[in-house]
Amino acid sequence: MSTSVLPEPGDTAGADPMSTLTTADRPVAVGAAKPARRPLRRGERGKLASVGLHSLLTVCAFVAAFPVAWILYISLGAGKDDYLHPGRIFSRMTLSNYSFVVNHTGFGTWMLNSLIVGLGTMAVGVLISASAGYAVSRMRFPGHRPLMYTFLLTQMFPVSVLMVPLYKIMANLGLLDTYQGLILIYCSTAVPYCAWLLKGYFDTIPVDIDEAGRIDGLSPFGTFWRLIVPLAKPGLSVAAFYTFLTAWGEVAFASHFMLSADKYTLAVGLQTYISQYNSQWNYMAASAVLIAIPAGVVFYLVQKHLVAGLTAGGTKG
Amino acid sequence: MTVAVQGRARKERRDREPRPGLIARLRRSYDQHWYAWVMCTPVVVVLAVLVGYPLVQGVILTFSNANSLNVGRTIGVNHIPDSYTWIGFHNYVDLLTGPDNQLVPHFVWTVVWTFVCVVLTVGTGLGLAVLMNRKMRGRAVYRMLLILPWAVPTFVTVFSWRLLLSDGGAVDGLLGALHLPQPSWLSDPLAMKVAAILVNTWVGFPFMMLSFLGGLQSIPSELYEAAEMDGATPWQRFTQVTLPGLRPVSSTVTLLGIIWTFNQFNVIYLLFGSNGTDSVQILVTYAYQLFFGQMPQDYAESAAVGVICLSILVVFTGFYRRWMTRNEAAA
């Protein structure tokens, strides 16, 4: 490969390889002894490498997207065993599964509950993890290192240690079977990682900006709110995405702390559903697609920030 | 890694200002700390009440024989008090040496699972990130599609995999068309393990890919130019420039990956259900089985498994961080 980048004696026949080839030069170069060896400029690829790159990526993208597309396709088949005979679905696609799920189950209620909990977790979680992340990023106060380590620690144990004591605490606080209770629990799982991520993002924002704000008479909190939060939008949107998804997809806590049927979130609702319509996979598929849509919308809104937001979190974590 | 960055940001500020007197410094630091503490308070309160306190309670519970029959609860207006008793280390002894000794096989499988999954997700993520980190047509489309496994909630995608992997499902159809054996992915113990690892890799690689993509973009291109000038081959450029440049990212995401995979509940639980074959359960799902999969639900022993998971990870993280710092010092 080095030959394709660095000038070689044989290649220099037509033109200086480091300068851009003009169109007038090109025929000379092509007509020269080694037509295929036109030196590549930086960032250029040969035809073969290009084909290889694109085919490899296409295969990977196909594998990544296929299960998602598959469930979409299966959801269009009316029979409950259609997933075993995908060929059948194609000739008679129908939206009947969707209309059944929406009209004849508690789907609307579950969806609303999940949205309340998901958006609530997002708002509360992003707010408190941002303030904590900012404090840890900008101020060296006694206790900041133990705090960061605690964040890591909270990722380490399974729910089964917490379940019973948490149940009692929620009952004592009167938060059992309420949206607030579930939102707080989800915050406790999502916030540590978000605070970690946002701390990394805040580290990339120059301290000079804070200082300018302080000199102009803003309090530290004002600096954070008026200057840093607007600048940290990419990082914040990734944190929002993460908190929302955490709440949206969680099963274990939701199924034990939301007791009354009108408070069920989607994950809990679907469980009642499996036993009710035993192995009616087509309904499951249709509701799975409906569940994926809000997550997809949130994802679409934040996706242009995703790399920038994660970068900072990753590099400076 | 955190400290280095912080130290730098802090030092810049100090160097620029003249050093104030002791009392002024104390007062300023008090002001700063006051704000910092106020800003951290919400998180600390939430974590203390909803994680710290229950965790302590949970650990205490592991020294009792609490189960769903003797733990206090409120039914309607009647309050039933706790009636479990203290049995010391019996739960731990029972887990390690008891007749239905399950912990050790589950532990071994958990370690294998974590190792293989992390190697695969980090490898795939890194490979794809390197492929994506260049100008090409359709880059945005590729990125969009490759992020899908992360963007769609796990219980939806794992459900899809369950349909794909079921007997007579699409994966078997594909293997049959290629005249390959078609194991029953959801009931044969070995095939289940393979399926679980593959699905978890599928679920986990986008996060790694995005993190690495971010890391790659932060490596200055001058380094690559210099390496090219020195005649480095692409492979040399990868090992000598890319990998060291990615170290801050890779050390963090690998640690997170290990912790998350070790505690990966969703994939195994959703793929095989709670009544799945025992051998495929990792420690976390095993704890969940002890909790919900039987009557009476064995809270204490389940919590003991959880505490064991936690201590393994704490010890591991300690070693990992020490190892990373030593590596950084050596490099």
| Closest Cβ–Cβ partner in B35, B169, B303 for A83 | B169
For residue A117, how far is the Cα from the chain centroid? Answer: 18
The answer to which of A178-192, A193-207, B72-86 has the lowest mean pLDDT is B72-86
**Better-scored residue on pLDDT, A146 or B10:** A146
Residue A299 pLDDT > 50: yes
Cα–Cα distance for residue pair A133/A148, rounded to 1 Å: 9
Indicate yes or no: CB of B59 within 8 angstroms of CB of A43: no
Quick one: pLDDT at residue B125?
93
Quick one: pLDDT at residue A28?
42
B8, B47, B223, B299: which to substitute to probe chain A, counting the most A Cβ within 10 Å? Answer: B47
Q: Which residues does chain B have within 8 Å of residue A245's beta carbon, measured at their own beta carbons?
A: 151, 153
Mean pLDDT score across all residues of chain A? 76
Indicate yes or no: CB of B50 within 8 angstroms of CB of A199: no
Q: A306-317: per-residue pLDDT in tens?
A: 766 666 544 443
Record the tokens describing residue B196, joined without a space: 């679980």
Concatenated DSSP letters of A155-192: TSS-HHHHHHHHHHHHHHHT-TTSHHHHHHHHHHHHHH
Q: Which residues does chain B have within 8 Å of residue A5's beta carbon, measured at their own beta carbons?
A: 228
Dihedral sign from CA coordinates of A298, A302, A304, A307 = negative
Residue A5 pLDDT > 50: no
Q: Which residues does chain A have within 8 Å of residue B314's beta carbon, measured at their own beta carbons?
A: 153, 156
Quick one: pLDDT at residue B116?
95
Cα–Cα distance for residue pair A314/A307, rounded to 1 Å: 10
DSSP, res A38: P
Q: Which residues does chain B have within 8 Å of residue A155's beta carbon, measured at their own beta carbons?
A: 256, 259-260, 263
Determine the distance in angstroms separating the CA of B189 from the nearest CA of chain A, rounded to an integer: 22
Amino acid present at B265: F
Quick one: pLDDT at residue A310?
65
Is B104 touching A (CB cutoff 8 A)? no
Is A163 touching B (CB cutoff 8 A)? yes
Amino acid present at B201: T
A110, A161, A302: which to substitute to probe chain B, counting the most B Cβ within 10 Å? Answer: A161
Question: In chain A, which residue's Cα lies nearest the Cα of B161?
Answer: A67
Quick one: pLDDT at residue B127?
92
Is A187 touching B (CB cutoff 8 A)? yes
**Nearest Cα residue to B141 out of A62, A292, A241:** A62
- List b or e across B58-83, with b for residues whose CB sees 16 or more CB atoms inside 10 angstroms: bbebbbbbbbeebbeeeeeeeeeeee
Domain boundaries B100-330, corresponding CATH code: 1.10.3720.10
Indicate yes or no: CB of A203 within 8 angstroms of CB of B42: no
Is A281 touching B (CB cutoff 8 A)? yes
Quick one: pLDDT at residue B199?
93
Is A315 touching B (CB cutoff 8 A)? yes
Cα–Cα distance for residue pair B131/A315, rounded to 1 Å: 20
Over chain B (331 residues), what is each successive 10-residue block's mean pLDDT?
40 50 70 74 84 86 80 67 76 76 83 94 92 82 86 83 81 82 80 90 90 84 88 87 85 87 84 71 82 75 85 88 80 62
Indicate yes or no: CB of A195 within 8 angstroms of CB of B43: yes
| Closest Cβ–Cβ partner in B6, B39, B66 for A131 | B39
Dihedral sign from CA coordinates of B194, B196, B197, B202 = positive
Task: Return the percentage of chain A with pLDDT > 90, whole number.
Answer: 5
Quick one: pLDDT at residue A13?
39
List chain A domain ranges. 2-37, 47-96, 100-316
DSSP-assigned beta bridge partners for residue A166: none
Q: A215-243: per-residue pLDDT in tens?
A: 888 887 888 888 888 888 888 888 888 89
Q: Which residues does chain B have within 8 Å of residue A311's beta carbon, measured at their own beta carbons?
A: 211, 213-215, 217-218, 249
Quick one: pLDDT at residue A275?
60
Cα–Cα distance for residue pair B231/B233, rounded to 1 Å: 6
Quick one: pLDDT at residue B205?
92
Is B131 touching A (CB cutoff 8 A)? yes
Quick one: pLDDT at residue B74?
63
Q: Are A197 and A313 in contact (CB under 8 A)?
A: yes
Q: Which residues does chain A have within 8 Å of residue B249's beta carbon, measured at their own beta carbons?
A: 311, 314-315, 317
| Closest Cβ–Cβ partner in A86, A128, A143 for B42 | A128
Quick one: pLDDT at residue B45?
85
Q: How many CB atoms lie within 10 A of CB A217?
A: 7
Tell me which residues of chain A, numbers 87 to 126, contact chain B at a CB-CB cutoff of 8 Å: none
Provide the 3-class DSSP secondary structure of residue B185.
Answer: coil
Fold of A100-316: MetI-like fold (1.10.3720)
Indicate yes or no: CB of A160 within 8 angstroms of CB of B156: no
Residue A258 pLDDT > 70: yes
List chain B domain ranges. 100-330
Q: How confident is the model at residue A304 (pLDDT cuts 50, 70, 90)?
A: confident
Indicate yes or no: CB of A296 within 8 angstroms of CB of B307: no
Q: A8-39: per-residue pLDDT in tens?
A: 344 433 434 444 444 444 444 444 444 455 56
Indicate yes or no: CB of B151 within 8 angstroms of CB of A299: yes
Dihedral sign from CA coordinates of B318, B322, B328, B331 = negative
Of A25-39, A190-204, A291-305, give the range with the top mean pLDDT.
A190-204
Q: Are A110 and A258 in contact (CB under 8 A)?
A: no
Indicate yes or no: CB of A220 within 8 angstroms of CB of B32: yes
Indicate yes or no: CB of B36 within 8 angstroms of CB of A135: yes
| Closest Cβ–Cβ partner in A140, A192, A291 for B6 | A140
Quick one: pLDDT at residue B140?
81
Determine the distance in angstroms separating the CA of A157 from the nearest CA of chain B, rounded to an integer: 5
